[in-house]
Structure formats: C-alpha cells, structure tokens
Amino acid sequence: AVNRTPLIAGNWKMNLDHLQAVAFVQKLHWTLKEAKHESESVEVAVFPPFTDLRTVQTLLDADKIDFALGGQDLSAHDSGAYTGEISGQFLAKLDARYVIIGHSERRQFHHESDEVVAAKTQAALRHGLVPVICVGETSEDLEKFGASAVPVGQLEVALEGVASDADIVVAYEPVWAIGSGQAATPDQAQEVCAKLRAVVADKLGADAAARTRILYGGSVKSGNIAGFMREPDVDGALVGGASLVVDEFAAIIRYQK
Ligand code: PEP
C-alpha cells in the first residue's frame, strides 16, 4: 500500500435509521478522538441507508467530523421515470464522496449484471462520485474456476470505457466470506488483489494502478485487519457487520500493522 492512503469503509447495509445513525456516528467519533486516532493516516468512510444520508451529512458538517460519506448504490440513470431509484446527482448534492457499486447482495438479490455495474460506474463518475466497485467469487465459482477468474472478469467489464484519470476504488469481496465469519486469508486476499491491480493497469494504465486503492471485504474484524493491511496490494477494508459495532469498527480503523 505504498503511497496510498488506507481506506476503512463501513457498509451499514439496511441497518440503523437516521436517529440511530446520529448516535452511532457521534459515539464512533468520540471513541476515535479519545484514542487520538490520526485521521491523516487512515481515511474513514461510512455508507448509511439513503434515508440517513442528509442527517449524517449535517452531523459530519456541524461537528467537523472527518468521515467520508457514501451511498450503498445509485441508479444508472441521471433522472426521470425510475420510481424508487436514487440518482448520483442527489448523492453528490449531499456531499457523498463515494458510492458502492455491484455489492454481491445487489448482484444476488437484484440481479445486477456486470453490464449494469458498468453503467452504474459511469453514472457515479459522471456525477463526481468515486465508485467503490465490488467484485468477488461465490463458493461455486471458487470450486470451478479458482479465486481470481470471476472477480477479474467482473472488473474488466466494470472498467470498460473508464478514463485513465478516473478516481475509483475496487473492493475484492469473496461472496463466501461475506457475513460468514470465514474471512479469506491475507495470502488469498493479496493474490486476488494483485490480479485486480493488474486489470486496472491493463485498462487504465500504470499510473492508475499505482494510485487506485483496492480493498478486501468479507468478515473483517479487529482481530484480522492487521494481517490484511500488511499485504502490499490491500489498501483497506470494506466492512459490513463489524462496522455496526462502535468499539469493533474503531479498533479496525486503529489497526496496527
Ligand atoms: C460486506 O457486505 O461488504 C461485508 C464485507 O460484510 P461482512 O464484513 O459482514 O462480511
């Protein structure tokens, strides 16, 4: 992770309403402050449900809390007759910096194809958002094709037509490791993350590959984060379950290599 600011991202999924979000963000902020967390060295991002975003934005702004904000998804379209969808321009207006795209739960429960993920990546970039592009293999994929073939293929499609100077984040999330308590080993994560970096180099060039942060996600906890962060091609973590527990998420942010 030479010269790349580590990113610890908390995907809340469908948890915490806007009132619970206020209490959570304040508690996390104070926990990190008490421990003298150096916010320069690690970037912290939270991804609340859409209905929380305005409230969390106001709180971050009012209390000068240095967490980045992100959406958990966005529409591939900019506006119009798409009932229930959220445009990237709405997220950008709320000072969201990031948006998660192609999370395995979207791919599984909402049948999002690689092409939809690519269209959403373009939508994010059109509105100045940094797409956090999620890729990863299921346990069946792992058995049939090994660990890297599916995530590499998914990323190749997502990066189609992306400019070489685009600001993107990639998250390698083996589906079998998400919410299962069975994380990949640091070696496994490194192997796939290195291959994903090679895809970025191939599609966007060497500079982009050197600059782009690649996260590992899947049952990250305070007890295993350091091992991942020691790997040269792992630049942070996308955290689900453990991002909802203040002390646990704070300990992940304060990992020591
Ligand atoms: C996720 O959903 O992105 C995730 C990594 O979940 P968990 O940390 O709970 O495995």
CA of 84 to the centre of ligand 1 (A): 24
Residue 149 reports pLDDT greater than 80: yes
Structural domain contains residue 117: yes
Structural domain contains residue 124: yes
User: Which residue has its alpha carbon closest to ligand 1 atom 4?
Assistant: 240
Structural domain contains residue 1: no
Structural domain contains residue 223: yes
Residue 17 reports pLDDT greater than 70: yes
pLDDT digit string, tens, across residues 207-251: 999 999 999 999 999 999 999 999 999 999 999 999 999 999 999
Q: What average pLDDT is seen over the chain?
A: 96
Structural domain contains residue 2: no
pLDDT at 153: 98
Q: Which atom of ligand 1 is nearest to the CA of 217?
A: 5
CB 241 near ligand 1, within 6 Å? yes
Percent of the chain with pLDDT over 70: 97
Say how far apart CA 109 and CA 138 lie, in whole Å. Answer: 14
Say how far apart CA 254 and CA 28 lie, in whole Å. Answer: 12
Q: Is the pTM of this model over 0.95?
A: yes
Does 37 participate in catalysis according to the annotation? no
Neighbours of 15 (CB within 10 A): 16
Which of 172, 173, 216 to mutate to test ligand 1, by most ligand atoms within 8 A of the CB atom?
A: 173
Which of 104, 238, 243, 245 to mutate to test ligand 1, by most ligand atoms within 8 A of the CB atom?
A: 238
Give me the number of domains the chain comprises.
1
pLDDT at 41: 86
Mean pLDDT, residues 96-102 taken together: 98
Residue 93 reports pLDDT greater than 90: yes
Q: Which two tokens stand for residue 131?
A: 């797409």
- The answer to whether 47 touches 98, Cβ cutoff 8 Å, is yes
Catalytic residue (choose from 29, 37, 43, 103): 103
pLDDT top residue among 57 and 34: 57
pLDDT at 38: 55
- Looking only at the bridges linking them, the beta strands covering 213-217 and 67-71 are unpaired
Q: Which two tokens stand for residue 200?
A: 């970025």
- The answer to whether 239 touches 10, Cβ cutoff 8 Å, is yes
Q: Which two tokens stand for residue 35?
A: 């421990």
Structural domain boundaries enclosing 154: 7-253
pLDDT at 34: 86
CATH number, position 13 = 3.20.20.70
Mean pLDDT, residues 2-8 taken together: 91
Say how far apart CA 40 and CA 131 lie, in whole Å. Answer: 22
Which of 7, 8, 11 to mutate to test ligand 1, by most ligand atoms within 8 A of the CB atom?
A: 11
- The answer to whether 115 touches 156, Cβ cutoff 8 Å, is no
- Burial per residue of 198-228, b for 16 or more beta-carbon CB atoms within 10 angstroms, e otherwise: ebbeebbeeebbeebbbbbbbbbbbebbebb
pLDDT at 35: 79
ipTM of the predicted assembly exceeds 0.95: yes
Q: Which two tokens stand for residue 61?
A: 């702004």
Structural domain contains residue 88: yes
pLDDT digit string, tens, across residues 73-82: 999 999 999 9
User: 256 pLDDT band (50/70/90 cuts)?
Assistant: confident
- The answer to whether 178 touches 184, Cβ cutoff 8 Å, is no
User: 37 pLDDT band (50/70/90 cuts)?
Assistant: low
Mean pLDDT, residues 180-191 taken together: 97
Structural domain contains residue 187: yes
**Cβ neighbours of residue 247 under 8 Å, at least 6 residues apart?**
31
**SS3 (DSSP) at 81:** coil
CB 236 near ligand 1, within 6 Å? no
pLDDT at 15: 98
- The answer to whether 42 touches 253, Cβ cutoff 8 Å, is yes
User: Which residue has its alpha carbon closest to ligand 1 atom 6?
Assistant: 240
